[in-house]
Amino acid sequence: MQIYLDGQFVDSAEAKVSVFDHGLLYGDGVFEGIRLYDGNVFRLVEHLERLEYSAKAILLTLPLTRQELIDATCETCRRNKLRDGYIRLVVTRGVGDLGLAPWLCAKPTLFIIAGTIQLYPPEHYEKGLRIVTVPTRRIGPAALPPAIKSLNYLNNILGKIEARQAGALEGIMLNEQGYIAECTADNLFIAHRGVLHTPAGSQGALLGITRDTVFALAAELDLPVRETNLTRYDVWCADECFLTGSGAEVIPVVALDGREIGSGQPGPVTQRIRAAFRQRVTTDGVRL
Ligand code: PMP
């Protein structure tokens, strides 16, 4: 596998970063997880826009322009002869000393990995996920804005461990006020009486690219979407629930905390959104 690393393509065995890299020492950096579908880098421009905003928010100057990032991403896929896959684009603060000081890091480290991934086993797209609410609360916007897709994922990792301990593949994280923020690596939607609801960014949700795609699809399908405060009750008593993420795509949720949602089967709204999403993945983006 060929990895893009700071302007060069190197074999994965040679793709190494320093132990003094602040991405490793402090989680100081930003990243994107992007999908490639039949030679189409899905919503690459939107991902790069979010990367640029994440970098701006942490006062990190990206080492490449938008076009250079597009070219490097596509070239990484081409060199690996990939038509379908998962792309991880990471920019760290770079090599510094053992103190926090980001201003002592001379230049950011940028690498792009293009590989394959399957997040959820296929049967869950048919039958739906049974998920739980995890005890760890999502870090709030006052501490670390959730819109920043940073390398600090420990908060989500704790949630992920708790979901697994409860026998679930994904878990809902509440914010400090007890409203739903998102899942550990996916955004959450409910459908109730013909309206889609999802937590706002201010509640602790990452502004997911898939979430944003669902907004666009819902508008085309004449389904109103509301960004709103959601409690666990709202999900227990919703008609339908689904999760969105680059890895997960659009996946139905059929139970939360042991309560079946709606009919306990993937619902018609979720299926319509998922079908519309699948149609879009090969056309909406940048072709290799
Ligand atoms: N929330 C979190 C915490 C995530 O890490 C992700 C990405 N896996 C998402 C939501 C979904 O975002 P996207 O649709 O951009 O992949």
Domain identity same for 109 and 136: no
The domain boundary residue, chosen from 64, 82, 115: 115
Along the chain (288 residues), what's the average pLDDT of each consecutive run of 10 residues?
97 98 98 98 98 98 98 98 97 97 97 90 95 97 95 97 98 98 98 98 97 98 97 98 97 98 97 97 96
The whole-number pLDDT of residue 117 equals 80
Is 149 a known active-site residue? Answer: yes
Task: Provide the domain count of the chain.
Answer: 2
> Are 92 and 17 a contacting pair, CB within 8 Å?
yes
CA–centroid distance, 104 to ligand 1, in Å, is: 30
Select from 183, 216, 22 the least CA-distant residue to 102: 22
Q: Considering only CA atoms, which residue is closest to atom 3 of ligand 1?
A: 185
Query: Is there a single domain that holds both residue 251 and residue 134?
Result: yes
Give the binding-site residues of ligand 1, using a 6 Å CB cut-off: 33, 156, 182, 185-187, 206, 208-211, 244-247
Does one domain contain both 271 and 135? yes
Nearest CA to ligand 1 atom 2: 185
Q: Which of 179, 94, 86, 172 lies closest to 135 in space, CA to CA?
A: 172
Sign of the dihedral through C-alpha 8, 10, 15, 20: negative
Atom of ligand 1 at shortest range from CA of 212: 14
Q: What tokens were used for 238? A: 């919703």
Both 111 and 128 in a single domain? no
What do you get for the CA distance between the two ends of the chain, in Å? 17
Give the residue from 71, 97, 115 where a domain finishes.
Answer: 115
Q: What number does the ligand 1 atom closest to the CA of 213 have?
A: 14
- Count each helix (H run) and each strand (E run) in the chain, helices first: 8, 16
Judgement on whether residues 72 and 134 belong to the same structural domain of the protein:
no
Q: How confident is the model at residue 21, as a pLDDT?
A: 98
Domain check: are 77 and 137 in the same one?
Answer: no
Looking at the structure, tell me whether residues 66 and 135 fall in a common domain: no
pTM, two decimals, is 0.97
| Domain CATH for 200 | 3.20.10.10
- For residue 26, the domain's CATH number is 3.30.470.10
pLDDT computed for residue 264 by the predictor: 97
Q: What is the pLDDT of residue 120?
A: 87
How far is the centre of ligand 1, averaged over its atoms, from the C-alpha of 97 (Å)? 31
- Ligand 1 centre distance from Cα of residue 134 (Å): 17
Which amino acid residue places its CA nearest to atom 10 of ligand 1?
186
Give distance in angstroms: CA of 30 to centre of ligand 1: 13
Last residue of a domain, one of 65, 88, 115: 115
In this predicted structure, what is the pLDDT of residue 183?
98
Same structural domain for residues 195 and 220? yes
Domain encompassing residue 127: 123-285
State whether the Cα torsion 80-81-87-91 is positive or negative: positive
Q: Is there a single domain that holds both residue 142 and residue 279?
A: yes
Active-site residue, selected from the candidate residues 107, 127, 149, 160 = 149
Which atom number of ligand 1 is nearest to the Cα of residue 182?
1
Which residue has its alpha carbon closest to ligand 1 atom 9? 186
71/87 same-domain check: yes
Token pair 């501490």 is at which residue? Answer: 143
Quote the CA–CA distance of 277 and 248 in Å, as a whole number: 12
State in Å: Cα 162 to ligand 1 middle. Answer: 18
Q: Kindly state whether residues 156 and 211 are assigned to the same domain.
A: yes
87 and 133, same structural domain? no
| Ligand 1 atom with least separation from CA of 47 | 15
